[in-house]
Amino acid sequence: MGKVFICDHPLIQHKLTFIRDVNTKTKDFRDYVDEVATLMAYEITRNIPLEKVKVRTPVSDADGKIISGRMLGLIPILRAGLGMVDGILKLLPAAKVGHIGLYRDPETLQPVEYYVKLPTDVTERELIVIDPMLATGGSANASIQLLKERGCNQIKLMCLIAAPEGVKAVQEEHPDIDIYVAAIDDRLDEHGYIIPGLGDAGDRLFGTK
Ligand code: PRP
Ligand code: URA
């Protein structure tokens, strides 16, 4: 069974509180999401493999270790996943970025695919699927499935807020996937919104409501 990591660093929880706040305006919302994504990238890369290198200090040779950034891929689920990409790239600038376009049908809550563009070497990369919201889990599951069907087998999921229902759905359908979240909330409402959540992440990021 994949593990669930709750990124409960005080800085993340502080910023998440402003992200949730209905009075936080679009620009600040976007900035906070960007900052939390950077902080979560720090957590998600904790066990990333390092490569040994030699460097020369001003006084002697030294053994060093560096991250081989070319092995990473970020896969934001459009639209809202886009809000977390730049924050992660600040720490992992060599990662490539693939996009999966899905929207959730408001009636059925099922994900509808409308766009997929992935790096050509995606199967060789360790992938982080990014979406602020894990509600029913339909969008995350469809994205992970799509990546697996294309031969990807090193996948993690990073979300800001998850509902217990979404965590369970991903664990049942993709038990090999580790999930990183800043918070697991109480439940879903009858429209599939996370309670208390933050509302509609895409609309709040892009000011479309
Ligand atoms: C939101 C969110 C996730 C999805 C989560 O996207 O960003 O992708 O819903 O819900 P689920 O776990 O029940 O699938 P939405 O469909 O609103 O599209 P948007 O990002 O374009 O606004
Ligand atoms: N998508 C969102 O943007 N918010 C939710 O609470 C659920 C799905």
28 is catalytic: no
Residue 99 CA: which ligand is closest? Answer: 1
120 is catalytic: no
One of 17, 26, 108, 208 is an active-site residue; which one?
108
Distance CA 82, CA 115 (A): 14
Residues 83-100 pLDDT 10s: 999 999 999 998 999 999
Chain mean pLDDT for the chain:
95
Distance CA 167, CA 42 (A): 21
* Contacts with 206 (C-beta within 8 Å, 6 or more apart), sequence order: 26, 79
Residues 20-74 pLDDT 10s: 999 999 999 999 999 999 999 999 998 888 899 999 999 999 999 998 656 899 9
Q: Which of 139, 167, 170, 205, when mutated, tests ligand 1's pocket best, judged by the most ligand atoms within 8 Å of its CB? A: 139
Residues 168-179 pLDDT 10s: 999 999 999 999
- Closest CA relative to residue 113, chosen from 167, 160, 165, 77: 77
108 is catalytic: yes
ipTM score: 0.97
Tokens 């902080």, located at residue: 39
CB 87 within 8 A of CB 64: no
Report yes or no on whether pTM surpasses 0.80.
yes
Instruction: Give the model's pLDDT for residue 136.
Output: 96
Classified as helix, coil or strand, 29 is helix
Closest ligand 2 atom to Cα of 195? 6
Q: Quickly state the pLDDT bin for 197 (edges 50, 70, 90).
A: very high
